[in-house]
Amino acid sequence: MLRPNVPGAQPSPAKRLRSPFLDPRALVGKLNPTNRIVRDGGGLPESLGRIGSLEVRLARTTKDIRRAQRLRYKVFFEEMSATPNARSLISRRDVDPFDRICDHLLVIDHEGKTSRFGKPRPKVIGTYRLLRSDVAAAQGTDFYTAGEYDLGPLFAANRGAQMLELGRSCVLKPWRTKRTVELLWHGIWRYVLHHKIELMFGCASLEGTDPDALALPLAFLHHHARAPEGLSARALPWRHTPMDRMEKDAVDLKAAMKALPPLIKGYLRLGALFGEGAVIDRQFGTTDVFVVVKVSAIDPRYVAYYGADAGRHTA
């Protein structure tokens, strides 16, 4: 499963939303995801793609976002080992202050349950959260990933580039199939083309909080897929866990690839590179790594596959 950019045990949102012009507490209130909002899609069409009964589109209303939050709760807190805070436990939703300004990509199954009146009730079965750099700048917020990694050098080296943070990705287990993931990526690619994104970044997770037990996949990413200076980000000093836990020659490439979660394998196929240091996320029971994808460097095979008809629909 593609890294549900599952967050770590991080400082409070108020501490991570940095702006010298705004009181962080006021900003958290401003970003309160329970506020009623309606999205216009930024010029993108209502539907971004469809495979059979599955459709990918952006969330348009507060109700849509709440459905994504409920899905995240089911996957992160009920299926996985994450520990919800009081608010999430009561609401049964994975609520995050960044939800208010992010775009939310949804995969909807139109052959879901029917209501008591016999009408179909489309079900949200997959989601991905998207935050563009221009939106973050306009809101005076930091990125979610900044709670784990120092993004300063990355931004300094790519000043002026339009970036996209990917996060909070998850798919319900019965729908965790190749076509669902393909539909998510088709939607992301149309979004990337439409907004002229140059860099995508975020966190990806390996299950477990014992870095020694994850020595093989961590060492593989460190030695064979490390981002160069200008594209990398380093884990914050107080959260940094070394990834070079094995010598390069000792890494069994075949075994390492087998040990990686599907999300990270998918990123690697796109040409992704990884940052310096891992972060232990005890709240979610995962070990996080920083991932970055330069859009211009994506393997042409995947551009053709995911974007075969996407380019004809961009503004």
Most distant CA pair in the chain, distance: 63
Whether 17 shows a pLDDT value over 80: the answer reads: no
H helix or E strand, kind and range, residue 42: none
Q: What is the pLDDT of residue 179?
A: 87
pLDDT per residue as tens digits for the range 207-219: 999 999 999 999 9
H helix or E strand, kind and range, residue 54: strand 54-58
pLDDT per residue as tens digits for the range 250-286: 999 999 999 998 889 989 988 999 999 999 999 888 9
Q: How many helices (H) and strands (E) does the chain have?
A: 11, 12
- One-letter amino acid for residue 95 of the chain: V
Q: Which domains does the chain have, with CATH numbers?
A: 13-313 (3.40.630.30)
Angle, helices 178-194 vs 262-270, to 10°: value is 40
Closest listed residue to residue 289, CA positions, set 232, 212, 248, 229: 232
Share of residues in the chain with pLDDT > 70 (%): 81
Whether 308 shows a pLDDT value over 80: the answer reads: no
Q: What span, in angstroms and rounded, lies between the C-alpha atoms of 132 and 102?
A: 8
Contacts of 78 (CB under 8 A, 6+ apart): none
Share of residues in the chain with pLDDT > 90 (%): 65
Instruction: State the pLDDT confidence band at 155, using cuts at 50, 70 and 90.
Output: very high
Q: What is the pLDDT of residue 152?
A: 96
Query: What does the pLDDT average to over 13-20?
Result: 42
